[in-house]
Amino acid sequence: MTDVASLRSDLLAWYDARARTLPWRAPPGSGVRTDPYRVWLSEVMLQQTTVPHATPYFLSFTKRWPTVAALAAVDDGELMGAWAGLGYYARARNLLACARAVANDHDGVFPDTEAGLLALPGVGAYTAAAVAAIAFDRPANVVDGNVERVMARLFAVDTPLPGGKVELKRLAGTLVTDDRPGDWAQALMDLGATVCRPRSPLCLVCPVARHCQGLASGEPERFPVKGAKAPRPHRTGVAWVMRDGQGRVAVVRRPDKGLLGGMIGLPTSDWGEGPEVTDPVVADWRDAGAIEHVFTHFSLTLQVRVATAAAKDVIWLEEAEAMSALPTVFAKALVRAGGER
DNA sequence: CACGCGTGGTT
DNA sequence: TAACCAAGCGT
């Protein structure tokens, strides 16, 4: 009996009993609707980011900035520093732009429709649907990587990703109704995260196993089918740690666009060129070894060179302050140079 | 529409 | 350990 109604009631009953407790989530059936600001903030932080990694950032952000108006008033640099370590820094720039748009153009109130949310910076199809469903109880089709995987298995979809996304989204849409849309979206994502996992799915305890064509096929883990991925190139470069001898270190502000855009960084050579690199100023440079770092689309070996030196066109920061505000790749280099994150 | 864009945990 | 993976978005 794989009709929509029984599939829905099976999964919602499981969610009522087994929903994860998360700092941004109201318990199912509590009648409490989470503040749209918190739903939005959590959704942006969770884009391509695990719950354990995002959680401490969510807690510190909501403590420092309890409302969207408070967030909108923050300095750019302060916000980027607070985001350091969370990755995908365009999210932080868009987060601030979005908060300011809500504060200035919407009287501090989040739009309560999917279309209105979609118009905000950093809010795409997924986040608009998620906020509409979870914060405003709109029957939106919320499709993230979890939901794609659950649909691919439930309906044994053979079309490889990413081409198959259109079909998976259509299938997810057939299950959305006016009844408890926020809980439905979160139930699907919880199922994907804890039971219908990418590897070793727990089909024996799955509340919708009886509806699952992937399980019936005998190879549920085969879904979703994925296309070939491009190989990841390797690059090399040099990072210079310049100290002033009084506890400060030189950093630069990176351009707003591109890799680590808008963040502070250590002065570096270009990445990908040969090993011959000229040190930026005459000083007592010594080699502190190298660090390895893996970005989404390339890996990097960064040689770390250290000196006490003076330089122009840099910002001198207390070392502890720099350490906390630097993206991880540069924090690693600074640790290699003898600092502590 | 394919690509650029971080990081850390798991296998 | 190299590969894979995570509540995507903008261009």
Report the relative pairing of strands A234-243 and A299-308 from DSSP bridges.
Answer: parallel
Q: How many domains does chain A have?
A: 2
- On whether both A149 and A13 belong to a single domain, the answer is yes
Give the C-alpha separation, A130 to A95, whole Å. Answer: 16
Tell me if A161 is assigned to some domain.
yes
Which nucleotides in chain C lie less than 7 Å from some protein C-beta? 3-10
**Exposed, middle or buried: residue A335 (CB in 10 Å: 0-12, 13-18, 19+)?**
middle
Strand B contact with A49 (CB < 7 A): yes
Inform me whether the pLDDT recorded for A273 exceeds 70.
no
The 10 Å Cβ neighbour count of residue A153 is 26
Phi first, then psi, for residue A303 (nearest 5°) are -75, 135
pLDDT band at A225 (very low <50, low <70, confident <90, very high): very high
Considering A163, A191, A222, which residue would you say is the last residue of a domain?
A: A222
Q: What are A201-219's pLDDT values in tens digits?
A: 999 999 999 999 999 999 9
Give the C-alpha separation, A240 to A277, whole Å. Answer: 11
Active-site amino acid positions of A: 43
Strand B contact with A200 (CB < 7 A): yes
Per the structure, the complete domain to which residue A244 belongs is given by: 234-336
- On whether both A200 and A238 belong to a single domain, the answer is no
- Please state, for a pLDDT cut of 70, what percent of chain A lies above it: 99
Give the C-alpha separation, A247 to A244, whole Å. Answer: 7
The strand C neighbours among A residues 204-263, by Cβ under 7 Å, are 226, 229, 232
Give the C-alpha separation, A193 to A200, whole Å. Answer: 12
Give the C-alpha separation, A128 to A118, whole Å. Answer: 5
Strand B contact with A232 (CB < 7 A): no
Average pLDDT over residues A138-155: 97
The strand C neighbours among A residues 48-67, by Cβ under 7 Å, are 48-51
Tell me if A228 is assigned to some domain.
no
Which CATH number fits the domain that encloses residue A215?
Answer: 1.10.340.30
Inform me whether the pLDDT recorded for A1 exceeds 60.
no
Per DSSP, the three-state class of A253 is strand
